[in-house]
Chains A and B, each alone.
Chain A
Amino acid sequence: MIPHVPIGEWVADAIDWLLATVPWLFDAISEVMSTIVTSLTDVLTTPAPVVWVVVLAVIALLVRGPWLALYAVAAFLLVVSLELWVETMQTLALVLVAALIAAAIGIPVGVLAARHRAVSIAVRPVLDFMQTTPVFVYLIPAVFFFGVGVVPGVVATILFAIPPGVRLTELGIRQVDREVVEAAQAFGARPGQILREVQLPLALPSIMAGVNQVIMLALSMVVTAGLLGAAGLGAVVVRAVTQLDVAAGVEGGLAVVLLAIYLDRLTASFGQQTALSRVLGTRRRSRAARAEDDAPARPAVEEPALSAR
């Protein structure tokens, strides 16, 4: 009675058409991404693990504080002892690249959506689609476009991780106090200035919560990426599943969790006052105070002379 609507075939045709028309585009994307991920992996794996354990601990100390630094040392030394260091760093590289690209796409789209109703309305169903479609469904075109290996994993991860970046950026900008935006307008600020100097800074906590979600979602995709042949903890887990190796599975899973906790706690404090900004802030303030002292002493004015300007 109701005729069959061949949506699936249309999409498949579209993908075939894309592959036939612009194969060089996918090759280029593939080339660039795999280069970035491999070089980052090289950077992370070439020095002795201890070097990076220390670096990660110092980052934790500056951004969050001593407890996360302590955690970083313990967690990453445990990873080393499990002999999963290289795989963990491969996963970290994949997650960082994917999250960076997802944020680089998601935040601007969120900004546009916050500023233009039409964009917001158009983007919302796309985001719903991206978040609810089973991950494996867009693994298929990813493989078509980029073959197997790390690149389709990164691409699938990016697609999966974009939505919270968009949503939380849009929300954050919409929640900025309307009167403050009005004040900027009332003093003659341009739309770009208002965005840069008012909306983005005030939306920062929300945007950073979005970045945190992007990273966590990216991390949750590593196993899926492993299925596609991306090296890292995903591959360890996939191998353990196929070989029914409980011990390897537990160890691989544990490494994912340890990395996840580290990244979550680290990025959750973005946008809030961090240990680093506290240190910098005090330094700035004390420098300003010194400048005040150095200035020639002004006569104390009781009733300010208004006309004297």
Chain B
Amino acid sequence: MTPALQVSGLTKVFGGREAEALRLASDGLGRDEIQRRTGATLAVHDVSFSVERGELFVIMGLSGSGKSTLVRLLNRLIEPSAGTVEVDGRDLRALTDDQLRQVRNEKMSMVFQHFALLPHRSVRENAAYALKIRGVGGAEQRERADWALRTVGLLERAEARPDQLSGGMRQRVGLARALAADSEILLMDEPFSALDPLIRRDMQDLLERLQSELHKTIVFITHDLNEAMRLGDRILMLKDGRTVQLGTGPEIISAPADDYVADFTSDVDRTRVLTAGDLMREPRMTAHLGDPAADVLRALGSAEANGVYVLDDAGRVVGVARDDLLARALQEGRTSLDHRSLVAEHASTTADRPVVEFVHLLGRHPVPLGVVDGDGRLLGVVPRAAVLDALSAVPVRGGAR
């Protein structure tokens, strides 16, 4: 299946002698040097990525990194100097103005940093804006705008004017406007940057909840790496208009591509980024009901462990066999591992949960934290030492560890 959004070699030069600037840029010259020689500003250079359906793709960079230009190249609010943007396999640059407007109206919606609501229209009219442009009938406009407003929790303010709302509420309207358009792709240009930290958290929660239910394809711009790590399935790090690194949050944290990225990652709260799945490993040993108790006890001895996960035939966790109970079973003449040797002393989590959500479960039991899937099958274990190691690790500058 074609990706929802495919970007290749996207480049934008503002002003100056464009052709020469492009040539110098492909020779690898920096922004300042190009500016000095041609008078042109290299805003974005040779950025390529593709976004899968339902993916939340984050573009992260500081101010001046070209991220706002980049997102506007995606819907041709800014005309690219070179490169292509394909939406559902259609090259946007090959479209006529009318076709482009149709794509913007039906396929991609944008959410803006400063909300960009129409101040003279009610909240409901703002939410229905894309539908109004589409020429949808009044009743349907109202119905879908109201659905979108209910979704963002703002239906009761539908009659209000934007200036009667707080910043967080206004951005909810911005979000509702994008949702009501029912387009597959959302372009979000630093949507939460202008909000208070607490409100920003609320909005991030809201976005996560919406995304888990609506599965939009989202391109999310931010300058906040914590936000990027929290929301993004994958993150593109942008610096001076060029891609520095592209990967998942944990990939970027554990192997920053260069000093620039490493600098960022040192500020990131790893307990919120790293998940059980990132840290889990194969258990050194597991046992099954019916195994010879003596063998299990011997194996525990050589592994210097006090307990072991006992699984059923499907790999589901039945319990934990503890060394002292095994020893007593042998004394009592029970030679195979049975239920009486088991205790329930273990804790488990799912692979997608961040460290912060399971850190309190670590080290309490004779076995490490188990990572299980939805059916209770053991996928791996997270030893406490692995968590401590990951949290304390300072990335080595200039390359992978």
Taken together as a complex, chains A and B put the C-alpha atoms of A184 and B77 apart, in Å, by 11
Stretch at the interface among B4-12, B145-153, B308-316: B145-153
Interface contact tally, CB-CB below 8 A: 73
Stretch at the interface among B100-108, B196-204, B222-230: B100-108
Q: Which of A177, A201, A202, A306 contacts B151 (CB 8 A)?
A: A306
Q: Which of B105, B114, B150 contacts A179 (CB 8 A)?
A: B114
Taken together as a complex, chains A and B put the C-alpha atoms of A177 and B170 apart, in Å, by 16
Q: Which of B99-125 contact A (CB under 8 A)?
A: 101-106, 108-110, 112-114, 116-120
What count of chain A residues pass the 8 Å CB interface test? Answer: 25
- Assess the B150–A301 pair: CB atoms within 8 A: yes
Residues of B close to A306: CB separation below 8 A? 151, 210, 213-214
Binary per-residue interface labels of chain A (37-64) against chain B in the complex, 1 for a CB within 8 Å, 0 otherwise: 0000000000000000000000000000
In the assembled complex, B133 has its CB within 8 A of some CB on chain A: yes
CB within 8 Å for A289 and B113 given contacts A187-B104, A188-B130, A301-B150:
no
CB distance from A299 to the nearest CB of B (A): 12
Taken together as a complex, chains A and B put the C-alpha atoms of A197 and B128 apart, in Å, by 14
Contact residues of A with B, CB < 8 Å?
A: 177, 179-180, 182-190, 193, 197-198, 201-202, 285, 288-289, 301, 304, 306-307, 309
Taken together as a complex, chains A and B put the C-alpha atoms of A188 and B95 apart, in Å, by 13
Taken together as a complex, chains A and B put the C-alpha atoms of A167 and B143 apart, in Å, by 42
- Cβ-closest 7 pairs across A and B: A188-B105, A183-B116, A186-B110, A188-B104, A179-B116, A188-B101, A306-B213
Q: Which of A186, A198, A289 contacts B118 (CB 8 A)?
A: A198
Residues of B close to A304: CB separation below 8 A? 150-151, 153
Can you identify 5 A-B contacts, CB atoms within 8 angstroms? A179-B112, A187-B129, A190-B101, A197-B118, A288-B159
Q: Which of A184, A185, A187, A193 contacts B181 (CB 8 A)?
A: A187
Taken together as a complex, chains A and B put the C-alpha atoms of A129 and B113 apart, in Å, by 42
- Assess the B105–A187 pair: CB atoms within 8 A: yes
- Assess the A285–B112 pair: CB atoms within 8 A: no
CB distance from B168 to the nearest CB of A (A): 17
Residues of B close to A198: CB separation below 8 A? 118
Residues of A close to B150: CB separation below 8 A? 301, 304
Q: Which of B77, B113, B117 contacts A180 (CB 8 A)?
A: B117
In the assembled complex, B75 has its CB within 8 A of some CB on chain A: yes
Residues of A close to B109: CB separation below 8 A? 186-187
Q: Which of B108, B119, B153 contacts A202 (CB 8 A)?
A: B119
- Assess the B159–A285 pair: CB atoms within 8 A: yes
Taken together as a complex, chains A and B put the C-alpha atoms of A187 and B129 apart, in Å, by 8
Q: Which of B72, B102, B118, B153 contacts A188 (CB 8 A)?
A: B102
Task: Point out which of A177, A182, A186, A202 has the most chain B C-beta atoms below 10 A from its C-beta.
Answer: A186
| Given A180-B118, A182-B72, A197-B118, 7 extra CB contacts under 8 A | A179-B113, A182-B112, A188-B103, A188-B133, A198-B118, A304-B150, A306-B213
Taken together as a complex, chains A and B put the C-alpha atoms of A184 and B151 apart, in Å, by 22
Residues of B close to A201: CB separation below 8 A? 118, 120
- Assess the B133–A187 pair: CB atoms within 8 A: yes
Residues of A close to B129: CB separation below 8 A? 183-184, 187
CB distance from A288 to the nearest CB of B (A): 6
Residues of B close to A182: CB separation below 8 A? 72, 77, 110, 112, 116
Taken together as a complex, chains A and B put the C-alpha atoms of A177 and B116 apart, in Å, by 8
Residue of A nearest to B98 (CB): A190
Residue of B nearest to A182 (CB): B77
Residue of B nearest to A186 (CB): B110
Residues of A close to B120: CB separation below 8 A? 201-202
Residues of A close to B117: CB separation below 8 A? 180, 183
Q: Which of B131-169 contact A (CB under 8 A)?
A: 133-134, 144, 147, 150-151, 153, 159
CB distance from A48 to the nearest CB of B (A): 41
- Assess the B119–A185 pair: CB atoms within 8 A: no
Residues of A close to B105: CB separation below 8 A? 187-188
Residues of B close to A185: CB separation below 8 A? 77, 104
- Assess the B77–A186 pair: CB atoms within 8 A: yes
- Assess the B213–A307 pair: CB atoms within 8 A: yes
Residues of B close to A180: CB separation below 8 A? 116-119
Residues of A close to B75: CB separation below 8 A? 186
- Assess the B119–A183 pair: CB atoms within 8 A: no
Residues of A close to B102: CB separation below 8 A? 188
Taken together as a complex, chains A and B put the C-alpha atoms of A301 and B152 apart, in Å, by 12
Task: Point out which of A180, A183, A285 has the most chain B C-beta atoms below 10 A from its C-beta.
Answer: A183
Residue of B nearest to A197 (CB): B118
Residues of B close to A179: CB separation below 8 A? 112-114, 116
Residues of A close to B112: CB separation below 8 A? 179, 182-183
Q: Which of B103, B133, B144 contacts A189 (CB 8 A)?
A: B133
Residues of B close to A197: CB separation below 8 A? 118
Taken together as a complex, chains A and B put the C-alpha atoms of A309 and B214 apart, in Å, by 11
